Chains A and B, each alone.
Chain A
Amino acid sequence: MSAGQVALVATLAVPAVGASVVAALPSRADRAARLVGTVAAAVTLVVSAALYRPGDGGWFSFGPNPPAIRPWHDLDVSWASGLDLRFHLGVDGISYPLVVLTALLTLLCCGYTLWHVPDPGRGRLLTALLLAIEVGILGTFLALDLVLFFVFFEVVLLPMYAVIAVWGGPDRRHAARKFVLYTLLGSVLLLVGVFTVVSAAGTGDIVALTAANPLSRGTQLAAFTLLALGLAVKAPLWPLHTWLPDAHTEAPTVGSVILAGVLLKMGTYGLIRVAVGVAPEGARWAAPVVGSLAVAAIIVGSLVCLAQRELKRLIAYSSVGHMGFVMLGIATLTATGLQAALIGNVAHGIITGLLFFLAGAVKDRAHTGLLDDLGGLRERAPGLAGVLGFAAIASLGLPGLAGFWGEAFAVVGSLRRGGPLWSTLAAIAALGGALTAAYFLRLLRRVSHGPASPVVAAMPAGLARPELASWGPLVLLALAVGLVPALVLGMAHDPVQALTEVVNR
C-alpha cells in the first residue's frame, strides 16, 4: 500500500473512528467528547489535504492513450467479489477541492459545536453525527465505483435527518421529514440508474465506464435520466428544490453550514463525475432541458429571495439560484462550463457556509430572523455587520471574490456553446446574476443599515473568539479563491479537459 492509498483510507477511517469514539464516550464527558471529535476532524483535514499531488507528476505515466479519469491516488480492492462490488477510491483535480472543503467545513462546525451547542444539548452526539456525515460526503467524493458512490451517498441521509430533527428550529420535524422524503425518492432513482448502468455494462467502475463508454444510446438516455433526476434532487435543481428552504431554515447553524456548504455538492459533483462521465450521450441529449431548468432555478430563486422576509430562508433560497449557475455550467458540457461548475461549487460552499454561520450568529443574538425586526446591525455590532457585508458581496458575485468566477464562467460557457438556445439562456442567467445582486443588497439594507431596531439594540455587541476562528478561514478562502482562481481551476484543468473529450467524442 502506497502512502497515497493509506491517506485515502485514513481520510474515511479517521472521521469514522472519531464518530464511534465520540458516540461511545459517556454523556458526562460531553465536552471531552466534543474535543475528541474536533481533533478527529482536524486530523481528517490534514490527511485529506495531504492527498494533494502537485504538478502533473504521473500524469503521463498512463501512457499515450490515457483514460478520462486519472486519479492521483488509486485504491481498488475487491469488496464483495460475488456481487462484483469493488472498494475503489481515488482522488483527482475534480474531487480534491471538494474533499478539502468538506474536511474544513466539518472541522469548523465541530469547533463551533465545542463552543456552542444548540438546544437540546447533547453536543457529543451532534459532533458524532457531523463526523458520520463527513464520512458519507468524503466517501461520495472519493468513490470511483458506482455502487460505492451510492452507498456513501446514502450514508449521509440519516445522520443529517437526525441533525435537523433533533437540533433544529421549531418546525424541525416537518422539515426533516420533507428532507428524507425527497432524498429517499432521489436515492431510489439513483439506485435504479446505478442498477441500469451496472447490469448493462457489467461493471460499476467509473474509471472504466468513463473510458470505454460501453453503453448503447438507449441505455445512456435512460441511465442519464435516472441518475440526473436522482442527483438533481440533492443538488437541488428547480423544481425539485422545495425541501431545501425548509431544511436549511430549520436546521441548526452547523447543520445548515454542512447542508449548504457540501451536501448539495454531492449532487452536482455526482452529475459531473457519474452522470456525465458514464452516460455522455445521454448528457448531450438532456443538456438543453437541464440548462433550461438551471436558468429557471436562477430566476425563480432570485425572485423568491427578493420577497423573502426571513434571514435563513433567504440564504437558503439563494442557494437554489447559485446551484442553478452550477447546473448551467454542467449543462453546457464545455470545458469552460464544467470549470465554472467546479469553482462555483467550491465558492458556494465557502460563502454560503459563512453566510449560514453569520445568520446563526444573528439569530442567536437577536432571537429572530425576521428582516422586519432586524436593522441597524452596523451600529450595534459593526464587526458582525462587516463580515456579513463581505459574505453577501462575495455571494452576489463581485469580481475579485470567490462567487464571481462560477457565475461569470457559467454565462461565458453558455455563450461559447453558441446557438439561439444557449445564448438566450446565457442572457437570462446574466439577468439572474443582476437579481442576485439586488436581493443581497436588499438584505444588507434591511439588516445592516438604518436605525437600530429594538431587538438589535438589545443584542450583545462583541464577537466571540470561537466565532472569529470559525469564520476567519472562510473569509480568507473566499478572498483567496476570488483573487487566485487557479487554486481550483489549475488542478481541475486537465481532468475537465479529459472529460469534455469524452463527452464530445
Chain B
Amino acid sequence: MSDLQLPHINYAALAPMLILFGAACAGILIEAFVPRERRYPVQLGLSLAGVVAAGVAVITQAGTRTITAGGAIAVDGPTVFLQGAILALGLVALLFVGERSLEAGGPFVAQAALIAGSEPDRRQVVRPGATEVYPLMLFAIGGMELFVAANDLLTMFVALEVFSLPLYLMCALARRRRLLSQEAALKYFLLGSYSSGFFLFGIALIYGFAGRVDFAGIHAAALGSDRSNALLYGGLALLSIGLLFKAAAAPFHVWTPDVYQGAPTPVTGFMAACTKVAAFGALLRVLYVAFDRVSWDYRPVLGVVAILTMLVGAVFAVTQTDLKRLLAYSSIANAGYLLVGVLAMSKDGLSSSMFYLVAYGFTVLAAFGTLTLVRDADGEANHLSRWAGLGRRSPVFAAAFTFLLLAFAGIPLTSGFTSKFAVFAAALDDGQTWLVVAGVITSMVLAFPYLRVVVMMWLSEPAESTPTVSIPGVLTSTGLAIGVAATLVLGLVPAPLLDLSTKAAEFVR
C-alpha cells in the first residue's frame, strides 16, 4: 500500500468543469440560504458568470493536448472545441431559461414530483420564483463538459449520469401543462435509465474483452486480444445503444417527441442543442479513439442506423401538427445527418461533425426560443393551426422564424446548408455514397414540413384565435439575436469556424 501513486492532475485543464460544479454547489447553497425574493437575480447572475468563467477557462486551454487525472480525462482539440460549443450554446439556453417577462415568475416551478393538480401543486404553480433550475442547468452543463472529455468508459458513465439526472428533473418543472411535463420527465427517466443500463453492460463486456476501460487500452486490445471478439462487438453494440439513445437516433428515438413536447420549451432547446453536442462528442471519441480498428465491422450497422434515423425523422416530421413535435422529429433527422459525418471516420468527418453540432445548436436554440414567444391564455400555443397568419400580425418575428426553418431545410446561404454540405462532403470523400444519397433525399422530404409552417404563417388568413406574439424581454431577445445571427453568419462565412474545427480535429490517445 505504501507505493500508492497519486494521480497527476492538471488543474488548468480541468478548470472549466471545476468552475461549473463549484458554481452549481454554490447555487444549491443559495437556494438554501438566500431569501426567496432575492434568489432570482443572484442565481441568474451566478449561472451566467459561471458559464462565462468556464468559457474563459476553456479558451485558455485552446492549445492543450494532454491526458490528465490518472488517465480519466483527455483534454485535446475536440474536447476544447466541444466544451466551448456546449458552453456557448448553454449560455444562450440560460438566457431563455432566465427569461421572466413572458410569464410571471418564469416558466418553472420548484418541486417536480408533486402530484399534478393536487392542492400543493396548484399552490406552487401560482407562486413565482422557483430558481432550482439554475443549479440543475449548471450540473447538466458540467456533466456534458465531463462527458466529452472522458477518456475512459467509467468516467464517461459517471458523466452521463451527472448530466442526465438534472435533465430528467428539469423536464418535469414546466409551470404550464404540469401533467404533460411530468409524463415527459418520467418517460425520459425510465428510458434513460434503461439505456444507462445498456451502457453499463457494454462497459462490462468491453472490460471482459480488453481488461481495461480506458480508450487507449481498448484500442490496443482491439489489435490482438485472446478473448472472444463477441465480447468486443457485443460491448460496442451496447455502448452505442446508450450513446445513440442520448443522441436521439432511431430506433432509440421514441422518447424524443414526447419529451421535447412536454418539457418546458427553454429546457427542450437546451436538450436539443447541448445534449446533442455532448452525445455526439462522446460517440466520436468512443468510435474514433477506442474502436477505430474495428470501424470496418460497425460502419455498416451504424450506417443502417443513420439511414433509419434520417428516414424516421423526415417521414414522421411530415405528419406532425405540433411545432415542438415537429422540431423533435427534425432533431431526430439531424442526428442522422450527424451520424453520416461521424461515419466518415476521417479528420474531415470529425471536423465537419463538430461544425454541424455548433451550427445546428444555435439554430435549434433560436427556434425553440421563438416558440416561447407565441402565447395565448393557456401558455404557449404550439399547435400548427394556431400559427396561421402569424406573418401578418408580426412580420419581423415570422421572418426570423422562417429564416430558421429555411436553415433547418438546408437552403443555401444558411448554416443548415454549409453544415450539411460539410458532413456530406466528408462522407463522400470516404466513399460512403449510400449515406449521402439517403441524406440528400431525406433532406428534401424534410423540407416540406418546414415549408408547410412557412406557408401557414404567411399565406393563411389569421384566425380569430391566432395567438399573440409576446414582446420578448432583454434575455430572450439577446438569445434570439445570437441564434439567428449565428445561423446567418455560419451560412455566409463559415470559414473561420470551419478552420477552427479542422484545427481542433485531432484526438489524443
Contact = CB atoms under 8 A, between A and B. Distances in A.
B436 interface: yes
Nearest to B425: A83
A393 interface: no
Given A154-B412, A165-B455, A83 B444 contact: no
A291 to B, nearest CB: 29
Interface stretch (B78-86, B474-482, B492-500): B492-500
Contacts of B421: 83, 85, 147
A166 B352 CA distance: 38
7 contacts: A79-B495, A80-B498, A81-B498, A83-B352, A151-B413, A180-B451, A184-B447
A151 B412 contact: yes
Given A166-B459, A184-B447, A199-B429, A80 B495 contact: yes
B398 to A, nearest CB: 13
A150 interface: yes
B414 to A, nearest CB: 10
Contacts of B422: 82-83
Contact of B440 (A81, A85, A152, A191): A191
B440 A82 contact: no
A184 B444 contact: yes
A192 B443 CA distance: 12
Contact of A188 (B351, B413, B429, B444): B444
Contact of B425 (A162, A165, A198): A198
A195 B428 contact: yes
Given A192-B436, A195-B436, 17 more contacts: A78-B495, A82-B422, A82-B499, A82-B501, A83-B418, A147-B421, A152-B412, A154-B412, A157-B411, A158-B406, A166-B458, A184-B444, A192-B437, A195-B424, A195-B428, A198-B425, A199-B425
B441 interface: yes
Given A82-B501, A83-B421, A192-B440, A150 B412 contact: yes
A157 B417 CA distance: 15
Contacts of A151: 412-413, 417
Interface string A163-191: 00110000001000000100011011001
Interface of A: 78-85, 147, 150-152, 154-155, 157-158, 162, 165-166, 173, 180, 184-185, 187-188, 191-192, 195, 198-199
Contacts of A154: 411-412, 417
Contact of A82 (B428, B451, B502): B502
Given A147-B421, A162-B458, A191-B440, A155 B412 contact: yes
Contacts of A165: 455, 459
Contacts of A152: 412
B499 A158 contact: no
A461 to B, nearest CB: 37
| Residue from B406, B411, B493 with most neighbouring chain A CB atoms (10 Å) | B411
A392 to B, nearest CB: 35
A149 to B, nearest CB: 11
B425 A173 contact: no
Nearest to B502: A82
Contacts of B428: 195, 198-199
Contacts of A81: 495, 498-499
Q: How big is chain B's contact interface, by range?
A: 20 to 34
A325 B209 CA distance: 69
Contacts of A188: 440-441, 443-444
Interface string B404-436: 001000011100011001101100110000001
A185 B495 CA distance: 29
Interface string B436-462: 110011011001000100010011000
Contacts of A157: 411
A10 B458 CA distance: 31
Interface of A is mostly: helix
| Residue from A79, A80, A158 with most neighbouring chain B CB atoms (10 Å) | A80
The 7 closest A-B pairs by CB, nearest first: A82-B498, A151-B412, A199-B428, A80-B495, A80-B494, A188-B444, A154-B412
A185 B444 contact: yes
A418 B100 CA distance: 78
B357 to A, nearest CB: 15
Nearest to A192: B440
Nearest to B452: A177
A97 B43 CA distance: 64
A155 B494 CA distance: 18
Interface string B334-377: 00000000000000000110010000000000000000000000
Contacts of B436: 192, 195
Contacts of A162: 458
Contacts of A83: 352, 418, 421-422, 425, 494, 498
A166 B418 CA distance: 29
A199 B458 CA distance: 39
Contacts of A147: 421
Contacts of B424: 195
Contacts of B355: 82
A82 B495 contact: yes
Contacts of B412: 150-152, 154-155
A228 to B, nearest CB: 17
Contacts of B502: 82
A184 B458 CA distance: 20
A191 B428 CA distance: 13
Nearest to B419: A83
A396 B458 CA distance: 40
A247 to B, nearest CB: 16
Interface in B484-509: 493-495, 498-499, 501-502
Contacts of A198: 425, 428
Nearest to A187: B444
A97 to B, nearest CB: 25
Interface in B455-472: 455, 458-459
| Residue from A81, A166, A187, A195 with most neighbouring chain B CB atoms (10 Å) | A195
| Residue from A82, A154, A166, A173 with most neighbouring chain B CB atoms (10 Å) | A82
Contacts of B444: 184-185, 187-188
Contacts of B440: 188, 191-192, 195
| Residue from A157, A180, A188, A198 with most neighbouring chain B CB atoms (10 Å) | A188
A150 B418 CA distance: 12
A206 B495 CA distance: 21
Contacts of B417: 151, 154
Given A151-B413, A198-B425, A80 B418 contact: yes
A81 to B, nearest CB: 6
Given A151-B413, A188-B444, A192-B440, A173 B451 contact: no
Contacts of B459: 165-166, 173
Nearest to B459: A165
A334 to B, nearest CB: 34
Nearest to B437: A192
A78 B494 CA distance: 11
A345 B437 CA distance: 32
A314 B165 CA distance: 66
B341 to A, nearest CB: 12
A173 B458 CA distance: 12
Contacts of B441: 188
A187 B417 CA distance: 13
A63 B436 CA distance: 40
A188 B244 CA distance: 28
Contacts of A80: 418, 493-495, 498
B411 A158 contact: yes
Nearest to A172: B459
A83 B493 CA distance: 12
Given A184-B444, A195-B428, A155 B498 contact: no
A182 B413 CA distance: 21
Contacts of A199: 425, 428-429
Contacts of A192: 436-437, 440
Nearest to B424: A195
Nearest to A81: B495
A191 B502 CA distance: 24
B445 to A, nearest CB: 9
